[in-house]
């Protein structure tokens, strides 16, 4: 056992702790904590440890509201005073982009996000002496934590979890559960060998439930008729509905997603031609196209999302073309050349390939959403080297208590 001082919480939520002879990353530590720490193993070349005793708490340490916060790996910031979360996450974004921020850059910090707002969840199913239950992995472990409630989930998902706990037989043969609450219903995907919907509730929290089974990467409905559910999104002065399937990606917090879309429309202004790479189901670009009447060209890796985007565009009467493409490799860039606006919303690894060849696309504006500040800043360096300036940068906290932050950046040709 060794002692040390917690210094700073890093993106992802682990805290840098310095001891005599060691520097390690530790979960659930707060800056200023004086700790006794047990070293664990190196992962990816970094030594990690776990707290055995908080000898003297730092000034920002609080008692966690969640009773399993010390074990559960879902929330990284339960022991940090909630009023500090937005400033911490804003600092992660600002520090990553520091070299790119100029006098022309409008910088906006994150706002505090409400708890009980996460509408998407992935539980793992385990069995103990009390029976089957759905829970989250422990930190840095595949051990599943039993919990009665989760304070970051929407009331609808908490109600679903309670239903599952009260009927453990429903979980027989299930390895995992994914659930998504939308404006008019809830998709629930059971991962495993379940073959029928007998006994599964068809309503939860006054919302209809569509149950699905996923096995061998194939998702099939468990109850019929199959119900289609929608996300409600802002498009100028009106709202539109986008159909969302069980395998489609949507942002995990409804209010944050709406704010993201509204900011994009505010920053973009009037546009006639939009290119949307990593377009998903058209979550970001279809509302903008409805608001502006712009022509839309999109590409996405997931073919199911491409089909969903095409269906949504057709139903909305949008002049749009969506194709499947591996955007991490060479692809046909011709349809996306010379757009008024290029939207980039890549996964955590960023859009390095596209940003390195941005002079082939030459958009007037680029709006980039980055779920890893370091990857977003790396991509931003490439945009700057090719003649684009960072005009606006916004930190967005979309996940209460999580060690995760989104950045939204606007780039224009210098």
Residues recognised as catalytic: 371
Q: Beta-carbon neighbour count of residue 317 at 10 Å?
A: 9
Non-local (6+) Cβ contacts of 237 within 8 A are: none
Minimal CA–CA distance to 234: which of 259, 209, 215, 214? Answer: 259
Residues 6 or more apart in contact with residue 266 via CB below 8 angstroms: none
State how far the Cα of 231 lies from the Cα of 229, in Å rounded to an integer: 7
CA dihedral 83, 86, 89, 90 (to 10 degrees): -130
């Amino acid at each position: 056992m060794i002692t040390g001082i917690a210094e700073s919480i890093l993106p992802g939520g682990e805290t840098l702790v310095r001891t005599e002879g060691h520097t390690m990353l530790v979960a659930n530590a707060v800056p200023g904590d004086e700790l006794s720490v047990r070293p664990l193993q190196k992962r990816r070349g970094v030594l990690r440890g776990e707290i055995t005793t908080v000898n003297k708490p730092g000034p920002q340490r609080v008692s966690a509201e969640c009773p399993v916060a010390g074990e559960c790996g879902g929330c990284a910031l339960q022991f940090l005073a909630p009023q500090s979360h937005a400033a911490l996450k804003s600092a992660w974004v600002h520090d990553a982009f520091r070299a790119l921020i100029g006098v022309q850059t409008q910088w906006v910090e994150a706002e505090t996000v409400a708890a009980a707002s996460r509408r998407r969840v992935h539980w793992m199913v385990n069995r103990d002496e009390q029976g089957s239950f759905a829970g989250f992995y422990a930190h840095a472990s595949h051990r599943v934590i039993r919990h009665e409630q989760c304070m970051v989930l929407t009331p609808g998902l908490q109600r679903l979890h309670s239903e599952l706990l009260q009927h453990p037989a429903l979980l027989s043969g299930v390895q995992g559960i994914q659930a998504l609450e939308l404006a008019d219903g809830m998709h629930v995907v059971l991962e495993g060998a379940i073959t029928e919907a007998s006994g599964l509730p068809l309503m939860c929290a006054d919302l209809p439930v569509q149950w699905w089974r996923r096995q061998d990467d194939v998702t099939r409905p468990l109850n019929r008729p199959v119900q289609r559910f929608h996300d409600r999104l802002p498009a100028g002065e009106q709202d539109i509905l986008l159909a969302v399937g069980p395998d489609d990606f949507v942002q995990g917090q409804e209010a944050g997603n709406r704010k993201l879309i509204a900011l994009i429309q505010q920053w973009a202004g009037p546009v006639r031609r939009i290119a949307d790479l990593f377009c998903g189901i058209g979550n970001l670009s279809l509302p903008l196209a409805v608001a502006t009447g712009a022509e839309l060209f999109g590409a996405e890796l997931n073919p199911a999302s491409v089909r969903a985007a095409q269906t949504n565009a057709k139903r909305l009467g949008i002049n749009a073309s969506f194709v499947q493409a591996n955007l991490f490799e060479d692809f046909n860039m011709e349809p996306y050349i010379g757009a008024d606006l290029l939207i980039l919303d890549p996964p955590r690894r960023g859009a390095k390939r596209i940003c390195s060849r941005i002079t082939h696309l030459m958009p007037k504006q680029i709006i980039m959403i980055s779920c890893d500040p370091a990857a977003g800043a790396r991509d931003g360096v490439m945009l700057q080297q090719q003649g684009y300036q960072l005009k606006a940068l916004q930190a967005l906290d979309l996940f209460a208590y999580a060690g995760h932050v989104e950045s939204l950046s606007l780039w224009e040709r210098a």
